[in-house]
Amino acid sequence: MPAVCLYFQVHQPCRLKKYTAFDIGRDHDYEDREENRRLLEKVAERCYLPANALLLNLIRKYEGRFRVAFSISGVLLDQLTVHRPDVLKSFQCLGETGCVEFLNETYYHSLSFLFSKDEFRAQVGRHRRKVKELFGQDGKTFRFTELIYNNDLAREAENLGYEVILAEGAEALLGDRSPNRVYRASGNEGGFGDGAGGRNGAGDGRGDDTEKEAGTGAGRIKVLLRNYRLSDDISFRFSSRDWREYPLTAEKYAHWIHGENGAGTVINLFMDYETFGEHQWAETGIFPFLEKLPGEILKHRDFVFATPAEIARAVEPVGSIDAPELSSWADTERDLTAWQGNSLQQDAAGILYGLEEDVKACKDSDLLDSWRKLQTSDHFYYMCTKWFADGDVHKYFNPYPSPYDAYINYMNILDDLSRQVKKEKRS
C-alpha cells in the first residue's frame, strides 16, 4: 500500500548576544537569553501549541490511521524544559498516542560529523538518551542536521544501531529515479536504473527502480528520500500568490499524492515544523489545510500514513543510493554551501573544532556546554554570503545586519572562549 511519511524538524537555536571586542576577557556569558525566550514564546504560541493540538485531534479522529514523526533538537528540548514545559508536555501527549515517532539527531543541531566523529557520536548518544528520557522511545531513525547525507554518514548511523536514515531526494543522488521509493545505503555501487518522471519529479511508482548489482559496500540501513517538490509546495509556496497552483487546497494536494500511486510507493513529506503558523502564518489558511489533508489522503483506500521506522520495517528497498558527496535540503544547490560555502564559515568552523581536545581536557562542564552550543549550524548559516536565488531565505532567517557582522560577533566570542580554555589549562 502506498504510504505517506510526514516528518517535521523542530529546532530553535540558542542565539548569541551582541558581543564586541571590548567584551573579550570580561563577559563569558554568550547567549541572548531575553531574545531566545522572546522568540520561543512567539513560536510556541503561533506554531507548537496550536499545531500539536491539531495533530492530537487528527490522531484521535482517525483512530491511529494518521501518523507523524518529529526530530526535536536537544537545544530546543532544553529551552522548552526551562521556559515552556507546557509545550514539551504537548509533544509528550502526542508521543503517548503511539502514533508519533521521535527521531534522533545531534543534540546541538551541529555539523560535528564533518569535523569530529568522536564529538558526533557523543552528541548523538546524548540526544538518544534525552529522547528516551522524555518520550520513552529507543531511536530507530536518524537524521543529520538539515538532512545532510553521504555514504560515510549512513555507515556511521548503521554502526550506531539505526535502521533508517533520512536524506534529500536530490537529483544528484537519484539520477532519474523516483524519491518515492525505499532504498538502501551503499558505499560503492555505480549505475542507477531507469526512473520514471512524473509531476514534481516524483515518478509514478512504476519505473525501473531496481539496482543493477549490489556491491560489497551495500549497507543494511534503509534510506528515505524527501520529495522536495511536494514538500516545498507546503513549506515555501503555500501562500505565494505568484505560484500558478495558488491557492493550494487539501483536495488538490491529495490529488497530487494519489497520482503517485503504485506498489511500494512511499511519499516522504519532510519540512520544518515552524512552517505551520510561523513561516506560513495562520492567516494564510495553513492550519485548515493541515486539518483537512489527512482525510483527503485517506479517502483513497490504498493510502496509509506511516512513520519512518514503520516504513523501514514494512518495505524492502528497490535499490541502493550511492552518495560519495555530501548533500542537504538547503537552497537550490542542495549541498553544504549554506554553512561552509565561504572562507568566513570555514575559518570559524576550523577554529571552533580545533579547540575540541583542549576543551575536553579541561573537564569543565560550563566550557564544554559553551563550546557545543557554538557548534549549532545556525551560527554558520548566518555567515552565508549567498544571494541570488537563495538570498531572500538567508536574509529572512538572519538576525544580523550582514554575514560579516555575524562572523565578527561569533569570532569575538570564540576568542573569549579560547582564552578561557588556555587559562583553565594553565591552572
Q: Report the distance separating Cα 359 and Cα 424, nearest Å.
A: 9
Q: Return the biggest CA–CA distance within the chain.
A: 69
Residues 287, 47: Cα–Cα separation, whole Å: 10
Strands 222-226 and 182-186, bridge-based pairing: antiparallel
Active-site pick, 101, 105, 119, 146: 146
* Cis peptide upstream of residue 317 (ω within 30 degrees of 0): no
For this structure, is 146 an active site residue? yes
3-class state of residue 218 by DSSP? coil
Q: Find cell 544547490 and name the residue.
A: 333
C-alpha 259/C-alpha 198 separation (Å) is: 9
Distance of CA 394 to the CA centre of its chain: 17
- The pairing of beta strand 182-186 with beta strand 164-168: unpaired
State the residue for C-alpha cell 513529506: 269
Residue 36 contacts residue 15 (beta carbons within 8 Å) = yes
Q: What is the DSSP letter of 184?
A: E
The backbone torsions φ and ψ at residue 400, rounded to the nearest 5 degrees and listed phi first, read: -100, 155
The answer to whether 380 touches 321, Cβ cutoff 8 Å, is no
What DSSP assignment string belongs to 124-171? HHHHHHHHHHHH-----EE--GGG-B-HHHHHHHHHTT-SEEEEE--H
Could you tell me the end-to-end alpha-carbon distance of the chain, in angstroms, rounded to an integer? 64
State residue 313 phi and psi, 5-degree precision.
-75, -30
Q: Which residues are catalytic?
A: 146
